[in-house]
Structure 1
Amino acid sequence: MKPLSLSATYHLRRLLHQNLDRLSSIVAAGAGLKADPLSDLNSVIESLYLEEYAIAETVDQLERLASLHQSLVTQSARHRQELRKIEQEIFWLLGFKLKEIQSHGTILLVDDTVLNIKLLSKSLKDHGYEVYGITDSSIVDESAKEVQPDLILMDVVMPRFDGYEVCDRLKQSPLTRNIPILFMSGINDVMNKVRAFDHGGVDYVTKPFQLEELLARVDHHISFRNLQKRLEAQNLRLQQEAQERQETERLYRDMFENAVYGIFQSTPDGHYLKANLALARIYGYDSPEELITVVNDIAQQVYVDPNRRSQFVESLRERDSLLDFESQVYHKNGSKIWIAETVRKVLDSDEQLLFYEGMVRVIKPSLAA
């Protein structure tokens, strides 16, 4: 089978990375591998399509779509709808559905000339943007805080406050400092362009400009800003998940360490992986560490009848768990006690046994040795 080319693989992985939070899997659990920016895409395709002819056809389609997407992405302002359709086809072939975007973005347009705002607003709206126009440079701060646009198109030469002064004020507020600002000016000299970037602008276009050029720049900056916001949201979500996981682990650890009943994890060949203090005390040991270190053969060292461990293992081959599995076991001092074990199997993603996990309680007091 002909694999994906390196250039197609790189481009597809980049698309996956940029859109990961907007993808929902259409593949049933266990029916195939899930694609992500780091996965082997050829293995993903083989797991999804199985038959050689279907795999070859999918690879050819992805090669064609990736090449077409690469050729159009540099002209994204003119081919936005076509690009979106190509991306939907690519993700569908990789086992995903791409969530629809309702708006291409919100733009705050600042220019002291009403006619300029009317003409440019119409062109931007025709290309799917939501546009808010302002002619008074003194109210840009409050408007930006209220609208929270994805991009600000800012004229440089305006009465009262010029575009650079307005930009400085926007960069001072935590609510607006990250909004990208694209300056527009009839002044075409290097020093003014350098000044625009020094004040925090992301771009500078000279009037009169070609509409296609401005749309391309707008599309680029809004796409980049949206990617930034999605990555920030992903990072926040990951931080929240990490905090929740830490809290869950802390609660589990507290429960494990302070439980009244003995809790353990043991390997199929008879070693303890984990044990809590209650289990150690049931068996007469001073600490879980001592129990785990000393007992390296549960069948021989714990059970009075070594065959009981074999019966334990055999029972769990036939079912997922055991309830109140009663056995006589040794205390460290040589006495014997009766216990009941409630145990479950823990399996890996391939349904292979990893270890047993369970709880132990004493049901009869110790008998002298």
Structure 2
Amino acid sequence: MNLDSQLENKGTILLVDDIPENLQLLSDLLVRLGYNVRSVTSGRMALKTVKVKCPDVILLDIKMPEMDGYQVCQALKADEDLQHIPVIFISALDDVFDKVKAFESGGIDYITKPFQIEEVVARLENQLIIQRQQRLLKQEVNNRREAEEILYHSRALLASVLNSSLDGIAAMQAVRNPTTGNIEDFRCLVVNPVIAKVFERSREDLIGKLVLKRFLSHIEPELFGHFVNIVEKSETLERDFYYPSGESFWFHFVAVKLGDGFAITIRDITRRKQIELALQQANQQLELLANLDALTQVANRRCFNNRLLQEWEELAKEQYPLSLIIFDIDAFKSYNDYYGHLAGDDCLLQIAQAVYSLIRHLDVNRPADLVARYGGEEFAVLLPNTDLKGGAKVAERIQEAIHDLAIPHIKSHVKDIVTVSLGVAALIPSLEVKPDILIASADKALYEAKQQGRDQYCINDCQKL
């Protein structure tokens, strides 16, 4: 046997010998072969070591001071947690009496010194193979027992709640192709009246029949593959599905693996779906109200801020221009003081709606344009994909639309009708700067329009700042 060859199956070996030279020699040989080796020089150290971490096999010398190998082996076999560890005695004692005593102490093999490493490895491997087979057999027995217990309890549970449950309950067994072993359909093992009603069949007509694949073909054919995965991959499947049945339309099911099949529970959730739809519509309405100015019925400041940030990020990626118009009503305080706040509110409403109507009719293919009440008598118009020249044209149209309203304002020092001053700014957004620069630029242009006598617009090209 080549000592440098590597064994396919390795294990953890505990060497127990009071002579360090013997330990070193045997340890080096076994390590070279790929085993994980631990060594101790006394029986008491061996008992402490195995309690910390159990080895796969113990190679135990017999003649040791304080506690000989027989005593160590007897102590191991008396411990319920350690008695399974195979002990191979390795000793210079070659008398039949010593060997018999070794086996009576609980040893499973005996190697006489001086030993051949080939013999040691062969005997080690024999014990390791036996151990692996025992573990596999134990695992197989446990798996089978667990499967039987699960199946038994699951069937018992189904039987107890089957007829009293308001939910649909069924158990399905896989029907496999005898050649390939693939699941081709499922056979009904258990079905309660609720499920039978969904299938529009009697329970007697369903039990033992192959109905699932045909039933799913009318609803959602791809669901069959998901049911197969429940069995083959132990996946749990939970989802809603639409299936008109009497006054019910929506159902929710949960399916789990049960033996070589699955158990499924189905609940009518039509009412819940109706409530969810109503709630969704209510949330949409709330979202609309949250973004709408109650007085003027155009977008509010919150909506404007969100839209500005959104358009800023999108246009920065596309490198398209963004224009902003900020305008307010000239001498609005005087208007309020003279005509009253109700008239002032009506004035704000008329102006907001006039500008909104104008923007909507300028180009029906520009849904991103936004008219918002910025605050008080101040409004903002956001124009994506619009340069400064385009923004100025819109500002001019807004000014004309306000003139066309001809709302009387005898306390105005500008004209005897309501007028507005407008500031226009435009730039190509950049992710390196904040959109505040566009607002500040439009504000500056608005200030210039007021300084120059109001009832006009001024422009400010941010890109040249």
TM-score (norm 2): 0.39
Q: Which has the larger radius of gyration?
A: 2
